[in-house]
A and B are shown apart, each in its own frame.
Chain A
Amino acid sequence: MKILIVDDSRAMRMIVTRTLRQAGFGDHEFLEAENGAEGLALVDSADPDLVLSDWNMPEVNGIEFLQALRSKGSAVRFGFVTSESTDAMRTLAAEAGALFLIAKPFTADTFVTALGSVLAV
């Protein structure tokens, strides 16, 4: 499977990748984008199976990215990995079609819980 990691911080993209490997998902292929605009282009060109996106990014932020994907008919599986996790954001994320919202900081166990069933499908 291909997992697209979208975050404006290269340090955070490395940590997400490292945590995915620690969580046992190291056999998957990892792609990276710096913001929602790059993410949209990569979903089109690389057809990932799952998108893990930050929320707070310049240019096109995470929720705008998800809404743009859905508005163009993409049903790619999508989850947020973000430093904010209010009830309102979780509701907005779910209504827009996100499967989960992982709050930073996280652990490998957090990824196992959130992604285990998603990647098993």
Chain B
Amino acid sequence: MTTTHQATAVTAEQIAEIAGDVWTSFLSMDLAPDGSEPLTGPTLTGCVHISGDWDGSVFVQCAADHARLAAEAMFAADPGTLSPDEVSDALGELTNMVGGNIKSLLPAPSKLSVPSVAGGDSYTLRIPGATRVEAVTLRSPGGPVHISIWKV
């Protein structure tokens, strides 16, 4: 997949800064830019949609292991004690925060959807007619976190 740079006011550096703030503040985890680490194995993807003067979506995809670690940090839970719904809740909220902060940098007015989360060994999320306009991969405990912005 190729990243194309169409009209968007958000840079990869800004995405990394937003995500870094969220992960540090709520998970006490550092995220470091590292585009070389591939996402392998089971993953989860959180998604929020933005509609209005700017239409598109923000995806946050990470290894299932990272999603579990993130959820355990958010819930202050013991390892292995959270349900899949709780892990999805946590990733959805992380996606909501990343998407909400990205939305604040895009043309307004617009509305942010509530987040949805998909996961498993093999799945594809598509926004019909959308083009990826920016993306960044960040290194984290439990595997990489991939954040992308898609414009309709």
Interface residues of A (CB under 8 A from B): 8-12, 14-15, 18, 56-58, 82-86, 88, 103-107
* Closest-CB distance, B21 to chain A (whole angstroms): 5
B contact residues, total (Cβ < 8 Å): 26
User: Measured between alpha carbons, how far is A56 from B114 in the docked complex, in Å?
Assistant: 6
Scoring A10, A57, A58, A106 by chain B CB atoms within 10 A of each residue's CB, the highest score goes to: A10
Question: Which of B32-40, B95-103, B119-127, B134-142 interfaces with chain A?
Answer: B95-103
User: Measured between alpha carbons, how far is A105 from B97 in the docked complex, in Å?
Assistant: 7
In the complex, the answer to whether B99 meets A11 with C-beta atoms within 8 Å is: no
10 CB-based A-B contacts, threshold 8 Å: A9-B89, A10-B75, A11-B71, A15-B26, A15-B74, A83-B99, A84-B100, A84-B101, A85-B100, A86-B103
In the complex, the answer to whether A14 meets B104 with C-beta atoms within 8 Å is: no
**Interface of B: prevailing SS:** helix
Residue of A nearest to B93 (CB): A9
**Interface of A: prevailing SS:** loop
B90: interface (CB < 8 Å) = yes
B65: interface (CB < 8 Å) = no
User: Measured between alpha carbons, how far is A14 from B93 in the docked complex, in Å?
Assistant: 12
Contacts of A106 in B (CB 8 A): 25
* Closest-CB distance, B119 to chain A (whole angstroms): 16
User: Measured between alpha carbons, how far is A10 from B71 in the docked complex, in Å?
Assistant: 11
* Closest-CB distance, A84 to chain B (whole angstroms): 4
B108: interface (CB < 8 Å) = yes
B109: interface (CB < 8 Å) = yes
Contacts of B114 in A (CB 8 A): 8, 56-58
B10: interface (CB < 8 Å) = no
In the complex, the answer to whether B25 meets A107 with C-beta atoms within 8 Å is: yes
